[in-house]
C-alpha cells in the first residue's frame, strides 16, 4: 500500500489533514540555504553539485517535516544543456543569449544526458536520504515558459518577445517547443527512474497567452511531454502547474492528461471545488498571506481547507515562497493545515 501521503492524494484519495509542501520551499528565506548557497560559488554550480543540491533539498524537510521534497534545481538547466550561455545576475535574475529563428536549427540536444547527469545523481541521493514517508518530486519547466526566457534572453514583465515571436513565426515556435518537450520528457523519465515519486511541469507564463495560443503553445507541448513520459513510465504521476490559466484549467487537465493540477492564488475556490470533481488539485494560498501572517494567513488557510478539504487536495502556495517569508509564519501555516494547537 502506498504510504506517501502526497502520492495518495494525487491518486485521488481525500486525506485529513491534506498533505502539504510549498513551492520553492528550499530557498533564500532559510538561513541554512543562504549559507550553502554562499559555499557553492554560483547558483548553477549549486544546481549541478549533487552534495550541495541534496543538502538544500533536505533542509526544509529537516526543519518543517513537509510531506514532500522537491528536487533543488532550475527550469533553465534545459537551455543550459543547449549551450545558451545561461547565467544568473545577482538582483536581476537569469540571462542567456537571445534565440533567433536561425538558431533553432543549430540547437543540439545530444549533450543533455551528460550535462544533466549531476541532477539525476541528486535525485538518486535524495531518495536514499529522505524519510520513507516523504515523497520526492522531480520537475521541469514547460516548453513555453522555458522558451520565453530563451527568446528574450531574460525574464520580462509580460514576455512580449516570446509572444511576438509566436505570432510572427508560429512554425519556428512549434519547432522550438517540440524540441524542448522531447528534451524535457527524457529529463523527467530519468528523474522518475532515479527515484522521483512524481514530477511537476511548471508553466509559469501560461497565463499570458490567449486561448488559441494557450492550446497550441501550452497544452500541446505539455501533452507531448506527458505522452512521452507515460510511454516509458506508464504509471508516472504528473502535476501540471499552468499559472494564470484560469478558465482554461479544466481543458488543460483533460487535454494534457496530467494527474493533478496546481492552482495559483487567483483561482476562485468555487472554481477549484469544481475542478476537484475531476481529480486532485494543489494550492493555492497567496504567498503574500504567508508574509503577512496573523489573521490574513489564518483566514487564507481556513478558506482553502473549508472549500477543498472534502476532496483530493495537496495544500500549497499559489506560487513560490518568497525570500522575505518569515520562518515563524511557515511554522504557523503548517500547524493550521495540520490542525495542531498553536
| 187 labeled binding residue | no
Rg (CA), the chain: 19
| 204 labeled binding residue | yes
**C-alpha to C-alpha distance for 12 and 279, rounded to whole angstroms:** 6
| 28 labeled binding residue | yes
Asked about 28 being catalytic, the answer comes back as yes
Q: Which of 149, 187, 197, 286 is catalytic?
A: 149
User: Is residue 74 a contact partner of residue 43, using CB atoms and an 8 Å limit?
Assistant: yes
| 149 labeled binding residue | yes
Q: Which of 11, 28, 34, 103 is catalytic?
A: 28
Virtual CA dihedral for 85, 87, 92, 97, nearest 10 degrees? 0
Write the DSSP symbol of residue 109: G
**C-alpha to C-alpha distance for 85 and 76, rounded to whole angstroms:** 11
Asked about 324 being catalytic, the answer comes back as no
Tell me the three cell numbers of residue 230: 507515460
Asked about 216 being catalytic, the answer comes back as no
Q: Which of 74, 83, 182, 298 is catalytic?
A: 74
If DSSP codes are grouped into helix, strand and coil, which group holds residue 62?
helix
| 213 labeled binding residue | no
Asked about 149 being catalytic, the answer comes back as yes
Q: Which of 4, 24, 125, 253 is catalytic?
A: 24
**C-alpha to C-alpha distance for 234 and 16, rounded to whole angstroms:** 29
| 4 labeled binding residue | no
Write the DSSP symbol of residue 221: H
Asked about 154 being catalytic, the answer comes back as no
Q: Which of 8, 37, 84, 289 is catalytic?
A: 37
CB atoms inside a 10 Å sphere around CB 100: 12
| 115 labeled binding residue | no
Annotated binding-site residue numbers for substrate: 24-28, 74, 149, 204, 319
Active site residues: 24, 28, 37, 74, 149
Annotated binding-site residue numbers: 24-28, 74, 149, 204, 319
Amino acid at each position: 500500500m502506498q504510504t506517501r501521503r502526497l502520492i495518495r492524494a494525487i491518486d485521488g484519495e481525500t486525506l485529513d489533514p491534506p498533505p502539504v509542501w510549498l513551492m520553492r520551499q528550499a530557498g533564500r528565506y532559510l538561513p541554512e540555504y543562504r549559507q550553502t548557497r554562499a559555499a557553492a560559488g554560483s547558483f548553477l554550480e549549486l544546481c549541478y553539485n549533487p552534495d550541495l543540491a541534496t543538502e538544500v533539498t533536505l533542509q526544509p524537510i529537516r526543519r518543517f517535516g513537509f510531506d514532500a521534497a522537491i528536487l533543488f534545481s532550475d527550469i533553465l538547466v534545459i537551455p543550459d544543456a543547449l549551450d545558451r550561455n545561461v547565467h544568473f545576475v545577482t538582483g536581476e535574475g537569469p540571462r542567456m543569449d537571445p534565440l533567433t529563428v536561425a538558431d533553432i536549427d543549430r540547437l543540439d540536444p545530444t549533450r543533455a544526458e551528460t550535462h544533466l547527469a549531476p541532477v539525476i545523481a541528486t535525485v538518486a541521493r535524495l531518495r536514499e536520504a529522505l524519510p520513507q514517508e516523504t515523497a520526492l518530486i522531480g520537475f521541469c519547466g514547460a516548453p513555453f515558459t522555458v522558451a520565453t526566457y530563451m527568446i528574450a534572453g531574460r525574464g520580462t514583465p509580460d514576455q512580449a518577445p516570446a509572444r511576438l515571436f509566436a505570432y510572427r513565426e508560429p512554425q519556428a515556435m512549434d519547432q522550438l517547443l517540440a524540441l524542448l518537450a522531447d528534451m524535457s520528457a527524457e529529463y523527467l523519465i530519468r528523474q522518475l527512474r532515479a527515484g522521483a515519486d512524481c514530477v511537476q511541469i511548471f508553466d509559469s507564463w501560461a497565463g499570458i497567452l490567449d486561448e488559441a495560443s494557450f492550446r497550441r503553445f501550452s497544452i500541446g507541448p505539455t501533452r507531448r511531454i506527458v505522452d512521452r513520459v507515460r510511454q516509458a513510465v506508464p504509471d508516472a504521476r504528473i502535476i501540471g502547474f499552468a499559472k494564470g490559466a484560469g478558465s482554461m484549467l479544466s481543458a488543460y487537465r483533460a487535454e494534457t492528461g496530467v494527474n493533478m493540477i496546481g492552482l495559483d492564488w487567483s483561482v476562485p475556490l468555487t472554481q477549484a471545488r469544481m475542478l476537484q470533481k475531476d481529480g486532485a488539485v494543489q494550492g493555492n494560498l497567496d504567498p503574500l498571506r504567508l508574509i503577512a501572517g496573523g489573521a490574513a494567513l489564518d483566514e487564507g488557510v481556513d478558506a482553502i481547507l473549508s472549500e477543498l478539504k472534502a476532496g483530493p487536495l495537496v495544500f500549497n502556495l499559489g506560487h513560490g515562497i518568497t525570500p522575505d517569508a518569515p520562518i515563524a509564519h511557515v511554522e504557523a501555516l503548517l500547524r493550521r493545515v495540520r490542525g495542531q494547537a498553536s
